[in-house]
Structure 1
């Protein structure tokens, strides 16, 4: 091999592919040494070296130098293949080093393909991938569009290739966008202390400043929100809350829960829990939609935040004291101490540190172990009960859905009418029944006046049949006959209504039934 060719080859690869020349020289030396061993035996002691100044090759076999003709007889083709392989490995290693140094940094590239949910991004010297799981929910990427993302993972793949994975969902992406839009962050005038994020929905950023004359929130938002607007546009309209950082959790937690107003923060240091008390009208705002606000605030502050009202806290404390007191070995005083430290459930008690519990309650390690085992058993029992309740609720909801689907496919005549329609139909039927009863009563009264009135002949006969009886006294007059023929309701009522009054009432009820 010509020494000048070796030097030109090394210099060209160094300039074009950014490969360290020393790596190339070592790769060529290794290739020539491997080829020589194949010719002289794998166990032979062959050493090959190349001069970095003039590219001259020198070799020794068992300590004896080899001449140029012997070196020339080394399989040139084999050496060339090994050199190419080493160059590819060196190129891969160079890319690995380059992009591993950029992990967490923002890069920009052109989208090549965006089908099947996975997008490929051309970064110049490597083709990276942007998986669907690392894309912002709801956004759509198209070919030949420029996209920004952070380098999330770098690993070798399939021989000499490098796999670079990008991400647009990590909290670091929000931080890098802030740094690009807000020069004060690079100048260290303000600083980002913490970020919590749910991609595509909401992010919370805690910022601070060492200069009391600088408001970090106003600096991040910008004039009329120009800076924060640019970040939101890159994040597909994601909502961003910029809050003021404070080293005191009692100040940071209310800031993180904005826009909700907090009344009091109770810190439970032993279990890392913060109980936040709010008013009833602030409860839903503090929790957020599907718990999003409190969840992001917990990640931002590093505390397990529980939102409740004062009455809910009192009920939970009372329930916890009662429940703990039922465990053998725990007195009411110990239960009160546990509640004061923030332990409000059997789950909390099952993960308590035994040495801390023993010191706090004045118990032995054996007693503590028994109490913890009992708490774990009760926690499992409560979890099973909750699971059964959820299962019953799901079955009930399933039956309701099936019933609704069945009724949706039923003919209209067979469907069960709504409650209002049933009530209206019932009222109409009752009105019609009362009207019919009234008409029957009127007909009965009229029939009584005609049928029950005795004739003159029957009155004479009755007077003849009754000995020593006054026929005039025994014979009822027409008015008396009418009174006797009155309906049972009229005779039994203390204030009987006349026929005319009864008809008026029935017509009124009929009208009211029709309007029901």
Structure 2
């Protein structure tokens, strides 16, 4: 029996023996109505069972009858728990890694996937808006949580998590996986646009260039996996004005005045750059705010014909991060950047 379970469930033989011994001991204690459970041993070679309470040996015939009748359900339960623990350990080691799964079925808004012999859930919160899926399709997703629920293991996946993009770059860019290029911060609106702040620990390696690749080959592979989501690569810097200026790419910024006490910046742009600086629905400036951790005000720079007696007029955007967003940014260790690369068709 032990060999069969070992082969079918891929559970270590010693775990199976220990589970059977414990189950028989529990059943024997109940059957014999003793204060303490007997010590049960199974010979690993012959399969012979011995048991004792203190110095008193328990008749093996009686013990065999108990094992067959009373301990059966306990043994089954123990084997299921051992199987659950094995699956849990396997996927716990894969937490925050990307997993390739196949879609088995849909349960309401959730997508149930097969990950080897285990089932994984891609909840609605982990799905990217605009993506459509079908049964049998293979997809890649980030393992975010693993939970034990009774005798089952619940594995949760996400494609909307910021770390999904980070892990994709680690797979596509050797300099990132080797730690030469560091991803300092990510600001993302899944399905629409992502801004990534990068920094190089090696002066000879251009962080943005490494992530973009020759003719955009590396970043394009990530974009393809994200089904066309726009990506901006921004060089991280400790100087707030430089980081804020580059975080608003692809817009061309004329000037940045940063107030370190209030952590608020006024950004001046030409009229024809205003729409790009703000972005569709305010997305560009909103993501720049999240990426840098600074509140950003966009101000239009007047042309000479308009400059008669005062400073530039503030025209459009005042984007302020919520307290929750600020805390998330502060925890990421972002200070500020310098130069950017992007694949984008969005204003």
User: May I ask how many residue pairs the two structures share in their alignment?
Assistant: 306
Q: Does 1:195 align with 2:186?
A: yes
Return the match for 1:279 from 240, 248, 269.
269
Alignment of 1:94-133 (within 5 A): 94-114=86-106, 116-133=108-125
TM-score by length of 1: 0.54
Deviates more, 1:22-31 or 1:170-179: 22-31
Aligned to 1:77: 69
**What is residue 261 of structure 1 aligned with on the other side?**
252
Query: Please, which moves more after superposition, 195-204 or 19-28?
Result: 19-28
Does the C-alpha gap of structure 1 residues 60 and 237 become closer, same or farther in structure 2, counting only changes over 3 Å? same
Gaps of 5+ in 1: 317-347, 349-516
Give the Å deviation of 1:95. 1.4
Q: Which of the numbers 160, 165, 179 marks the counterpart of 1:174?
A: 165
Q: TM-score under structure 2 normalisation?
A: 0.79
Shift, 1:207, TM fit: 1.5
Shift of 1:57: 2.7
Give the superposition deviation at 1:14: 4.0
**Is the CA contact (8 Å cut-off) linking 2:256 and 2:267 kept in structure 1?**
yes
Contact 1:275 1:308 in 2 (8 A): no
Change (3 A) 1:297 1:16: farther
The superposition leaves residues 474-513 of structure 1 with CA deviations (integer Å, 9 ceiling, x where unpaired) of xxxxxxxxxxxxxxxxxxxxxxxxxxxxxxxxxxxxxxxx
Which of 107, 122, 131 is equivalent to 1:139?
A: 131
- Counting only pairs closer than 5 Å after superposition, residues 25-424 of structure 1 correspond to structure 2 as 25-41=17-33, 43-52=35-44, 55-114=47-106, 116-157=108-149, 159-262=150-253, 263-269=255-261, 271=262, 273-281=263-271, 282-308=273-299
Partner secondary structure for residue 70 of structure 2: helix
Specify the SS of the correspondent of 1:74. Answer: helix
> How far, CA to CA, are the matches of 2:209 and 2:269 in structure 1?
29
Unaligned runs of 5+ in 2: 303-309, 315-322, 324-347
The DSSP-based 3-state class of the residue aligned with 2:163 is helix
Give the match for residue 443 of structure 1.
none
Distance 1:248 1:29, change over 3 A: farther
- Asked if the contact 1:45–1:62 (Cα under 8 Å) also holds between the matched residues in 2, the reply is no
Task: Give CA deviations for 1:408-439 in whole Å, capped at 9, x if unaligned.
Answer: xxxxxxxxxxxxxxxxxxxxxxxxxxxxxxxx
Q: Kindly indicate whether the alpha-carbon contact (under 8 Å) linking 1:109 and 1:146 is maintained by their aligned counterparts in 2.
A: yes
Radius of gyration: which is bigger? 1
Distance 1:167 1:183 in 2: 23
The alignment yields a C-alpha RMSD, in angstroms, of 2.7
- Of 250-259 and 303-312, the range deviating more from structure 2: 303-312
Using a 3 Å threshold, how does the CA distance of structure 1 residues 144 and 313 change in structure 2: closer, same or farther?
farther
Residue 248 and residue 16 in structure 1: after superposition, are their counterparts in 2 closer, same or farther (change >3 A)? farther
Cα deviation, residue 280, structure 1: 4.9
Contact 2:300/2:313 (<8 A) preserved: no
Q: Secondary structure at the match of 1:305?
A: strand
Q: Is the 8 Å Cα contact of residues 203 and 239 (structure 1) preserved in structure 2?
A: yes
| Distance across 1 between alignment mates of 2:199 and 2:295 | 22
C-alpha spacing 1:194/1:48, structure 2 compared with 1 (3 Å): same
The change in CA–CA distance for 1:115 and 1:39 in structure 2 (over 3 A counts) is closer
- Give the C-alpha shift of residue 16 in structure 1: 4.1
Secondary structure (helix, strand or coil) at the match of 2:66 reads coil
**CA distance change for structure 1 residues 67 and 313 in 2, over 3 Å: closer, same or farther?**
farther
Greater fraction of residues in helix: 1
**Which secondary structure does the structure 2 equivalent of 1:173 belong to?**
helix
Indicate conservation of the 8 Å contact 2:211/2:219, yes or no. Answer: yes
- How far 1:138 moved relative to its partner? 0.7
Look up the SS of the partner of 1:278 in the other structure: strand
The answer to which structure, 1 or 2, has the higher relative contact order (CA under 8 A, 6+ apart) is 2
Higher strand content, 1 or 2? 2
Q: Report the CA distance between 1:69 and its aligned residue.
A: 2.9
Cα distance, 1:221 vs. partner? 1.3
Of residues 15, 36, 60 in structure 2, which corresponds to 1:23? 15
